[in-house]
């Protein structure tokens, strides 16, 4: 066979095709890989909503360096309504022009949205004050009264162990 350009190209093509068949296509049917995920949260100083107990009587073991807000309710009067004025503060830390409606609730045991703790309605613990927050409302913080109503059927065991604070944006982009 005489070596010319056509024969050289055919020969190179045959070598490449044969090499590909011998080495495989490079396709695969499955891959497994171990991956890890790190999740971190920011403290209230970096959050859009800042939460703080501002009444020293209610301040719990959490303290300034803790991410836990805790009400110390060991010395409540039984069979009485105890009000801590200007006790709990929710602040808006964002610089956008948003406003929020606030809800403080005790979730039901089945995980559904539970009882709203704004305004009482027979609850052993509730909050009073504005439920609107944010730049659009002209108030970057809301200070709430915390009320413990241990009159009648309510007693200290009825005070919720955990509450959920929900802020839903009502204005802004």
The whole domain housing 114 covers 44-171
Q: Of 86, 75, 80, nearest to 152 (Cα)? A: 80
- In this structure, is residue 5 part of a structural domain? no
What is the model's pLDDT at position 40? Answer: 57
- In this structure, is residue 15 part of a structural domain? no
| Higher pLDDT pick, 49 / 110 | 49
Q: Once rounded to an integer, what is the mean pLDDT over residues 74-82?
A: 83
pLDDT exceeds 60 at position 86: yes
Do 166 and 117 contact (CB within 8 A), yes or no?
no
Q: Tell me how far CA of residue 39 lies from CA of 46, 48, 69, 86, in angstroms.
A: 16, 18, 21, 34
- In this structure, is residue 21 part of a structural domain? no
Burial 135-151 (b: 16+ CB within 10 A, else e): bbbeeeebbbebbbbbe
Which residues make Cβ contacts (< 8 Å) with residue 99, sequence separation at least 6? Answer: 132, 133, 134, 135, 136, 137, 169, 170, 171, 172
Query: Does residue 19 sit in helix, strand or coil?
Result: helix
Q: pLDDT (tens digit, 9 = 90+) per residue, 97-133? A: 778 888 888 876 655 566 788 887 788 889 998 888 8
pLDDT exceeds 80 at position 156: yes
Q: pLDDT (tens digit, 9 = 90+) per residue, 2-19? A: 666 666 666 666 666 665
- In this structure, is residue 23 part of a structural domain? no
- In this structure, is residue 14 part of a structural domain? no
What is the model's pLDDT at position 91? Answer: 82
Q: pLDDT (tens digit, 9 = 90+) per residue, 56-69? A: 777 655 555 555 66
Considering 47-51, 70-74, 138-142, 148-152, the range whose residues carry the highest mean pLDDT is 148-152
Strand (E) or helix (H) holding 20? helix 5-23
What is the model's pLDDT at position 117? Answer: 87
What is the number of domains present in the chain?
A: 1
The least confident of 48-57, 76-85, 106-115, 130-139 is: 106-115
- In this structure, is residue 110 part of a structural domain? yes
- In this structure, is residue 66 part of a structural domain? yes
- In this structure, is residue 104 part of a structural domain? yes
DSSP tag of 63:
-
Report the predicted TM-score, pTM, of the whole model to 2 decimal places.
0.63
């Amino acid at each position: 066979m005489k070596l010319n350009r056509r024969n050289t190209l055919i020969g190179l093509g045959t070598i490449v095709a044969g090499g590909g068949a011998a080495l495989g296509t490079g396709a695969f049917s499955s891959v497994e890989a171990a991956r890890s995920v790190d999740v971190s949260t920011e403290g209230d100083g970096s959050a859009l909503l800042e939460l703080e107990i501002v009444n020293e009587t209610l301040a719990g073991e959490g303290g300034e360096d803790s991410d836990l807000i805790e009400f110390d309710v060991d010395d409540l009067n039984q069979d009485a309504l105890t009000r801590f004025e200007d006790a709990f503060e929710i602040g808006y830390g964002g610089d956008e022009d948003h406003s929020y409606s606030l809800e403080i609730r005790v979730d039901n045991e089945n995980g559904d949205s539970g009882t709203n703790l704004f305004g009482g309605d027979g609850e052993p613990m509730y909050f009073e004050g504005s439920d609107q927050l944010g730049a659009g409302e002209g108030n970057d913080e809301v200070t709430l009264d915390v009320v413990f109503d241990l009159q009648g059927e309510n007693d200290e065991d009825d005070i919720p162990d955990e509450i959920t604070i929900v802020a839903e944006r009502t204005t802004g982009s």
